[in-house]
């Protein structure tokens, strides 16, 4: 008699486990079906009539306002020779760069002395050890671009191209 009771206990435990697995598989299948159906509905444009006008299912294209046929313009900045370092070891930094803009704007060219002053002030404040670090150029570009954009406006200068960066 001990054996039939043991079989009942085993079968009693297997039924809830099978039920949990069945519900888990059913939930997973429904989630996949609804996710796939929603993706298809958005991708095929079936929901365009439901969405408010002006909204589409496609992601916005970056720099869509820039015409693809217009190449960017570059403004060459005057070269800089900056003394960097402390009193124990002064070194010279030779720096030359271009500003990438969407259009040739004479206002940016008129601000060139101020831009060069911002660059020189920032580069003098950085320790020589950091300037000699190979990864420092990426951080410097980002910092210089941010400072130029604060001066000229956020949409005027797109990038800084550093041509010469030599420490002697």
The pLDDT of residue 118 is 96
The pLDDT of residue 47 is 72
Helices (H), the chain: 2-44, 106-110, 112-125, 128-132, 136-152
**C-alpha torsion sign, points 110, 116, 121, 122:** positive
- The pTM of the full predicted model, rounded to 2 decimals, is 0.57
For residue 146, which phi and psi values (nearest 5 degrees)? -60, -40
Domain ranges in the chain are 1-59, 73-167
The pLDDT of residue 61 is 58
Give the Cα separation of 39 and 66 in Å (integer): 30
Asked if 105 and 90 touch (Cβ cutoff 8 Å), the reply is no
Give the Cα separation of 33 and 146 in Å (integer): 47
Architecture of domain 73-167 in CATH?
Answer: 2-Layer Sandwich (3.30)
The pLDDT of residue 124 is 92
Mean pLDDT by 10 residues, the chain (168 residues): 54 66 90 87 76 56 60 93 85 95 89 96 91 89 95 91 93
Asked if 95 and 108 touch (Cβ cutoff 8 Å), the reply is no
Asked if 98 and 160 touch (Cβ cutoff 8 Å), the reply is yes
Asked if 77 and 96 touch (Cβ cutoff 8 Å), the reply is yes
Q: Which residues fall within 8 angstroms of residue 97, CB to CB, at 6 or more apart?
A: 77, 119, 144, 160, 161, 162, 163
The pLDDT of residue 87 is 74
Q: Which residues fall within 8 angstroms of residue 93, CB to CB, at 6 or more apart?
A: 80, 81, 82, 83, 84, 123, 131, 165, 166, 167
The pLDDT of residue 100 is 95
The pLDDT of residue 65 is 57
Helices (H), 45-163: 106-110, 112-125, 128-132, 136-152
């Amino acid at each position: 008699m001990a054996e039939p009771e043991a079989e009942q206990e085993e079968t009693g435990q297997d039924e809830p486990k099978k039920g949990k697995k069945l519900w888990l598989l059913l939930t997973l299948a429904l989630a996949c079906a609804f996710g796939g159906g929603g993706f298809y509905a958005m991708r095929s444009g079936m929901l365009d009539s439901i969405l408010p006008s002006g909204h589409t299912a496609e992601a916005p294209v970056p720099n869509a306002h820039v015409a693809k046929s217009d190449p960017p313009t570059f403004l060459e900045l005057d070269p800089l020779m900056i003394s960097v370092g402390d009193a124990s070891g002064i070194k010279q930094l030779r720096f030359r760069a271009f500003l990438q803009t969407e259009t040739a704007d004479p206002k940016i060219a008129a601000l060139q002395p101020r831009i060069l002053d911002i660059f020189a002030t920032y580069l003098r404040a950085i320790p020589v050890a950091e300037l000699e670090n190979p990864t420092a150029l990426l951080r410097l570009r980002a910092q210089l671009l941010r400072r130029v954009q604060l001066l000229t406006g956020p949409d005027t200068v797109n990038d800084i191209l550093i041509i010469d960066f030599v420490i002697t």
